[in-house]
Amino acid sequence: MRQFFLSALLLVVPVAAIPAIDLSDFDDDVMRAMDDAYKDLEPVLGASNADAARVDLAVLKEGYQWTHEYFTGKKAEAPDALEIVIAGRKLLGEIQSALDARDFTLGVTKARELHANCKSCHDTYKPKKQ
């Protein structure tokens, strides 16, 4: 029985093929700014530097807002992207709360979860470099 469920699961996977979406109007600068901010965020949280973390968080919030609007316009082609953005914005709120409470350990944990959020969107929607 268990074997049956496992093979049924394997059969389902190929159906989730990579959707080809038109990214010609995508703003890579937003992503690059988020990348810099993300890379800075974890170390500054680790160093309990709330001021620097706030600056990074502001860049990330703005980037996620842009990404949210962008993928709202692509809801039909990329429905999961929207769910991922919404989950990412929730995480940003949680990092903000951790920062306000000066709980830097929680902040670092949430920042790592945010990285997984970036990655989950990229895995599906970012074209692979040829």
- What are 25's two structure tokens? 């109007």
Identify which of residues 71 and 104 has a Cβ nearer to ligand HEC in the complex: 71
- What are 87's two structure tokens? 């989950």
* Burial of residue 52 (number of CB atoms within 10 Å: 0-12, 13-18, 19+): middle
Q: How far is the CB of 6 from ligand HEC (least distance, A)?
A: 30
Identify which of residues 35 and 62 has a Cβ nearer to ligand HEC in the complex: 35
Nearest to 52 by CA among 66, 39, 65: 39
Identify which of residues 11 and 76 has a Cβ nearer to ligand HEC in the complex: 76
Judged by CB under 6 A, which stretch of 1-9, 10-18, 97-105, 121-129 contacts ligand HEC? 121-129
End-to-end CA distance of the chain: 41
Q: In the Cβ-directed half-sphere of 25, how many Cα atoms lie within 13 Å?
A: 8
For residues 115 and 91, give the distance between their C-alpha atoms in angstroms, rounded to a whole number: 10
Q: Per-residue string for binding with ligand HEC, 79-98, x by CB under 6 A?
A: --x--xx--x----------
Point out which residues bind ligand HEC (CB under 6 A).
23, 26, 28, 31-32, 34-35, 38, 60, 67, 71, 81, 84-85, 88, 114, 117-118, 121-122, 125-127
